[in-house]
Structure 1
Amino acid sequence: MPFILIAVLIDMVSIGLIVPVLPPLVGLYTGSQADQAFWFGAISLAFGLANFFGAPVLGALSDRFGRRPVMLLGFAGLAISFFGSALAPSLAVLLVVRLVSGAMQANAAVAQAYVADISTPEEKAKRFGLLGAMFGLGFVLGPVMGGLLGDIDLHLPFWVAGGLAVANSLYGLFVLPESLPAERRQAFAWSRANPVASLRRLGALEGVGPLVATLALASLVQFTMHSTWVLYTQFKFGWGPKENGWSLFAVGLMATLVQGGLMRPLLKRWAAPRLAVLGLVSSACAYALWGAATEDWMMYAVIGFNVLGFTATAALQSIVSNAADARSQGQTLGAVASLQSLMAVIAPMIGASLLGLVSHLPLGDWRIGLPFFFCALAQALGAFLAWRHFRAQRRAVASAAA
């Protein structure tokens, strides 16, 4: 666990660095807020579309050749993305760079498969929580550094992030051990790497079924938030890279505290299915409150309120991972990553469209929260579907016992 946690931490710090500065960088090439929202959505869509097709392929490759070489490929993809973004002379070049890096980058899914390789079913929820804590810690350190560096020069965070990606490549090459022994590997087949087929197999896993829709909605909401947070706070409160860096620091800090410290006692109180539902409900409330915020301090208050919201993803991932056998963890979690990437394709289109509708409104207008109101409704629907699925499972178990 320490090896993979360090690799994920460095990975997420490098990604977090560019979060507060990528939308302003896009703004350098556009003439209006509406154009900025459109092109940022297009660039996010390019990354997500490439990742949708690339993630199941990389997941299946990790089942065949091991997790370590595929993670090294992902680190290289990130380095290309960051250095290419820093040097991009136009929006067209930036679009191509993000397309290439999206195809090569499936580190999150491979890291989850790595954890699944070395964990018992009982340990998975807690360890996925630790992995989520590293994602959160990366977003504690990365956005703040990116915001401060972006205040100096918008291109500087991309150079620093590229350097971290190179450092992670060296760490993976010389330090990170392999988690998948040769006897648990399986041959690569394009039929399993097909993103549509992989999603169909994911839905067919016993005990998962309708949870695929919940995972899709949760990912759609998450990526809609990611693609609109910076522009939303800019349009509503007039925030710049520094303010957005500190707000994302608060999000990452809460994720780290909850997933790294509170996950174990929460799992003792509630089983993973119940914790997943409670987390989804908490998140739905948080999105509604973010959208309705009229003062910038309210954004921080809602982050503190949404404690259970940071547990939902780890709980859902543990349920899906436990439903798959030991030989197909990479393929299964690659399918989850592919599903998330598909949502990452759709989310910028929705987020950019909703922001475009309200971009003309004055600072502080409550209607600018339209993207977050959409997120609240989608997350509430996901919570309902998960609750209904788990209730049906409990009834089936009780019926079988009777």
Structure 2
Amino acid sequence: MQTVGNPGSGGTDSGNDFTNFLDFSISGTKYEDLTGDGTSADDTAWSHDPVTIFIDDDNSGDLSAGDRSTTTGAGGAWSIGGLTLADVGKNIYEVVPDGSQQTGILVQTVDNPGSGGTDTGNDFTNFLDFSVSGTKYEDLTGNGKTADDTAWSHDPVTIFIDDDNSGDLSAGDRSTTTGAGGAWSIGGLTLADVGKNIYEVVPDGSQQTGILVQTVDNPGSGGTDTGNDFTNFLPPAGQGLTPGFWKNHLDILTQELGEFHSGWNSNTSFETIFEFQNLSKIPGTPSIADALGAKGGGVNHLERSSAAAYLSAAVTAVPDGPGGKPELNFSFSAATSSNPAIIAILNQIDTNDDHTLQPGEVIAAVRDVLNDTNAPTSNFGLTGQPGINDIANAFDAMNNQTHPDASVFLI
């Protein structure tokens, strides 16, 4: 408002000027962040459902009644007009689309573009949630993931993302089960999940081969991280032969032991076969046949159970049965014993983790638990470790598995 002044007789009251600032607009573009690295040259124009952009007029931090808003159009472009100087400094937000997360600049600000101008470059970028997938295979030969694996055809297997980094399935871990042909997938993952571990709950009676732990990788916005496969080997049911069997079939003992180690027979020293360095660990000088007949508990129990276990392991190590396979399968599984402690000990004895006891593993466990000089392992026999009877009981569990008939031995 100006006021009429007295310019003097016949004069002109000048300088009564007025200035106006024209309303302005704001604009920007909505982008899809293909790699999840924020605003960068590889972003592409938004091609999904329209996204709401709003000026936070009430400074509430979210879209409220009365906030001025618009939706993105073709190519993600948007604009809001009719802004005044009173709007400068207000925040601009997007309503984050479901199934995506914001990257780059999360909040834009209304700037003064000059009278009637446009405050440009108020862009938003989003990375779409992604998924992980894979296939569960049966490893027919136990040699890891190879071309001879077949799609899993057994009970569904649980696959999970280890969200709490505990190493096992916990409440809150995202999981799924395998479907037809072993296929599985988990969706709704975000950039925060990249690098997390993926595990399977190992099916009872099987053992993992190939890659044991997969990792969530970034497949790009809305993509699928594929190839997170797991393979499992289903060993045939374990077999065993008791000390009594071997003691009553010395002809088979001599044949099988001689096939494993030329020149050895039922009269070969137990201490020689077990490679003892301290010969005082075993009472007397029993042969392998004598050890099978040892009476009583303690070291004698260990003698007879380990002698039988060694012989069965030796048979399994020689593939001279029908079809070029061993005549005996001296393997173990959860079905070998209902006592978890026994299974835990067998897993300790099984140093190469193939669920089959080898002759050297039987030797190592016996020398270890008896504290023989330079024993190959140090898992047994000391305070807090499994002792003599524990090892003997573990061998008993192996020896008492399904007994094949003597006719399987090709004499």
TM range (shorter): under 0.3
Higher fraction of strand:
2
Greater relative contact order, per chain length (Cα 8 Å cut-off, separation 6+): 1
TM-score scaled by structure 2?
Answer: 0.22
TM-score scaled by structure 1?
Answer: 0.22
Higher fraction of helix:
1
Structure having the higher Rg:
2
